[in-house]
């Protein structure tokens, strides 16, 4: 039975094949995301993987809505697997915002589902680190979030040589558009054309821009000039003060495909340009209002960082640690009459917190020893009933080969570096 295209199995290391996905690499990534969030004071939340379809049709933007895994459930409700976390977060905040002091700083690591064409860096399921800051409208919040994004990539050993955060502003594009075109119907298609500028041919872009009476030349000139808005200047200044200035640059190519963004937007890319976006986000000051049907009005911003591109990048830069598993001790059971006493020993060691293995079924001594080696045990431990002066406990350090004989009733502590 094959798994569905675009979905992944995660295997423990060592992987049988280099094309397979590693459960340990995934944990490594999640651990770094959680640890960086903790340092920045972000608290973890989660929501359901299945949501009412309407949550996404309301304001997510056409691209993502076209990629929904949606169906009608047995109760006749139109539902969808979550393609992104932001609408769920907006719903959760709207429901209980009064119970939380502002600004709210929350993070989550949801698995998301998008029925999109499979390509490098894009699957039909991925895990996405989401960090969002709610209830603060000034650029200090944007800078704090950008710093978290930068530091969550630095936590993997990536440097300013490896990635850059391209900062932009929908406000700047909005001003650009409104100064030149008075028909609001063209505004959203205009943003979409800007979003696709780097992926489409100049002819395609030219045709799309012409609909709104705009030329590709003036768009390109605006991007090349890259004059920062006041809020973008404040963000860059704030990041410079932290020593993180080298990680960002103003780049108006970025406008973001999702429909709910309202102000500053940004995306993180590898500097060599080998991969798709590592992360993307921005301000969405109207989404909570929209999802709560006007009941709650809070400014918000956040970003999402997927595990797929990040893992490709870490592999390419040789930044994944080795995932060797090691156990603390292997308990040899060389005589079956000692099995019950050995189980008792295994249990007491495990209760002390040591990782301990033993043969589940009778096996020859040399096989047991081989297994201890395969499991990279630091020690072997065994009961020896025939020792002179009564039963003894034998402990062997497998790297130094040093052996110790101890009384069976002695509290056993393993010296683990
Ligand atoms: P997004 O740009 O759609 O933003 O996704 C953010 C990141 O998730 C991308 O940069 C990429 O790393 C990863 N990603 C997206 N789709 C896929 C896919 N099909 N396969 C693998 N990785 C993928 C959002 O989702 C926003 N909701 C982020 C946000 C949070 N904005 C504010 N708060």
Radius of gyration of the chain (CA): 28
Instruction: Please list the ranges in the chain whose pLDDT falls under 50.
Output: none
Nearest-CA residue for atom 32 of ligand 1: 302
Residue 274 to residue 294: CA distance in whole angstroms: 43
Each domain of the chain, given as residue ranges in start order, spans: 10-316, 329-407
Ligand 1, atom 14, lies closest to the CA of: 306
- 329-407 maps to CATH 2.40.50.140: no
Question: CB count, 10 Å around CB of 67?
Answer: 17
Q: Can you tell me which atom of ligand 1 is nearest the CA of 128?
A: 8
- Give the number of the atom of ligand 1 that is nearest the alpha carbon of residue 309: 12
Write down the pLDDT at residue 65.
81
What is the per-residue pLDDT for 49?
Answer: 98
Tell me what pLDDT residue 248 has. 98
Q: How far is the CA of 408 from the centre of ligand 1 (A)?
A: 57
Distance of CA 279 from the midpoint of ligand 1 (Å): 6
The pLDDT value recorded for residue 257 is 82
> What predicted TM-score, i.e. pTM, was given to this entire model?
0.94
Q: Whose CA is nearest to atom 24 of ligand 1?
A: 304
State the maximum Cα–Cα separation within the chain, in Å, rounded to a whole number. Answer: 99
Q: Which ligand 1 atom minimizes the distance to the CA of 89? A: 33
Residue ID of nearest Cα to ligand 1 atom 11: 306
How would CATH label the architecture of 10-316?
2-Layer Sandwich (3.30)
Q: What pLDDT score does 259 carry? A: 85
Cis amide leading into 14 (omega within 30)? yes
Adjacency order of strands within the sheet including 50-52: 50-52, 78-81, 70-72
Ligand 1 pocket (Cβ < 6 Å) reads 84-86, 114, 116, 122-123, 126, 128, 130, 132, 258, 277-281, 302-306, 308-309
């Amino acid at each position: 039975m094959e798994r569905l295209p675009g979905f992944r199995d995660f295997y423990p290391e060592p992987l049988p094949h280099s094309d397979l996905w590693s459960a340990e690499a995934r944990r490594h990534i999640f651990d770094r995301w959680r640890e960086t969030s903790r340092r920045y004071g972000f608290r973890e939340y989660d929501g359901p993987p299945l949501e009412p379809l309407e949550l996404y049709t309301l304001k997510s933007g056409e691209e993502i809505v076209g990629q929904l895994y949606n169906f009608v459930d047995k109760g006749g409700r139109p539902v969808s697997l979550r393609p992104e976390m932001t609408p769920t977060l907006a719903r959760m905040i709207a429901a209980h915002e009064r119970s939380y002091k502002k600004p709210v700083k929350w993070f989550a690591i949801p698995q998301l589902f998008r029925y999109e064409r499979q390509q490098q860096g894009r699957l039909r399921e991925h895990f996405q680190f989401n960090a969002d800051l709610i209830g603060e409208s000034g650029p200090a919040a944007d800078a704090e979030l950008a710093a978290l994004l930068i530091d969550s990539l630095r936590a993997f050993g990536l440097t300013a040589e490896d990635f850059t955060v391209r900062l932009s502003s929908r406000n700047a594009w909005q001003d650009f558009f409104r100064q030149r075109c008075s028909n609001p119907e063209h505004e959203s298609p205009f943003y979409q054309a800007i979003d696709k500028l780097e992926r489409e041919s100049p002819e395609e872009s030219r045709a799309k821009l012409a609909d709104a009476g705009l030329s590709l030349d003036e768009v390109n000139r605006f991007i090349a000039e890259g004059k920062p808005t006041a809020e973008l200047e404040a963000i860059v200044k704030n990041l410079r003060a932290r020593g993180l200035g080298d990680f960002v640059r103003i780049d108006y190519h970025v406008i973001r495909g999702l429909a709910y963004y309202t102000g500053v937007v940004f995306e993180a890319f590898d500097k060599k340009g080998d991969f798709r976006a590592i992360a993307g986000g921005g301000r969405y000051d109207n989404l909570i209002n929209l999802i709560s049907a006007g009941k709650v009005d809070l400014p918000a911003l956040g970003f999402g960082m997927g595990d797929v591109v990040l893992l490709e990048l870490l592999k390419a830069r040789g930044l994944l640690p080795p995932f060797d598993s090691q156990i603390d001790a292997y308990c040899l059971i060389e005589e079956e009459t000692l099995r019950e006493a050995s189980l008792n020993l295994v249990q007491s060691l495990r209760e002390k917190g040591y990782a301990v293995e033993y043969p589940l079924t009778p096996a020859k001594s040399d096989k047991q020893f081989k297994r201890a080696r395969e499991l990279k045990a630091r020690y072997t431990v065994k009961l020896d009933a025939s020792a002179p002066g009564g039963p003894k406990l034998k402990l062997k350090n497998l790297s130094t080969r040093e052996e110790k004989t101890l009384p069976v009733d002695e509290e056993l502590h393993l010296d683990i570096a």
